[in-house]
Structure 1
Amino acid sequence: VIGLIILYILPPKKVTLATAPSSNPIIPPPIEVSPSLIGTENGPETTTLWYYLDEANKQYGPMSFNALQTAWDEDQMTSSTYVWNEQMENWQTLEEIPDLLYKVRRAPA
């Protein structure tokens, strides 16, 4: 009898993640993605820091996309130049990234 009285007096046990029923899954809040990771309206090249290797495999960078475009304009890079940024797994040539090659080649606005 005393046990029943104690159970009646104590507040109800709160449901935690460990004891939550499996039929009612808990949905995590949406993840906010930083604009620096996905770029801006002008593309990821406006916020990404780039590196490139010259013909002697000397590394240049970090540099903005505009500086990368200047290196192209000054014939320091070709379509076979290797480029990299921290969002890429491996170094790739500009010709392996057609969209980037197109943007680097076009005249600055």
Structure 2
Amino acid sequence: MSLANDRRWELLDSAGPILTAEFGARGVIATRFVGAFPDLPGAGVWLCTTTDRERDTLRNDATVVETALEVLREVGFSPIDVARSAVIVESQQTVDQDFEGSWYYAMR
């Protein structure tokens, strides 16, 4: 299976707006992903906030990870992919301060 044909990219495209909407009232302004499909199962799910305060509030909520993983299940990720996925919450404030404003630098 080639990278371009791995259906998990489409699943992430479906999950992004759902996750942003799910957490939008709590400060999430975007959802980004890191994946190494088809070589590795799972993905990094990045919930992006504007401020460190919003980020910290989400990081301290034990339900955030399970809710995000449930969205991955609902859009069609396999149990192995869900189990190997991680949820990261980061703020634009920190990205600006520590990573020259680059989400690419922050996520690598």
With structure 1 as the length reference, what TM-score do the two structures score?
0.29
Q: TM-score when scaled to structure 2?
A: 0.29
More helix by share: 2
Look at both structures and tell me which one has the larger radius of gyration over its CA atoms.
Answer: 1
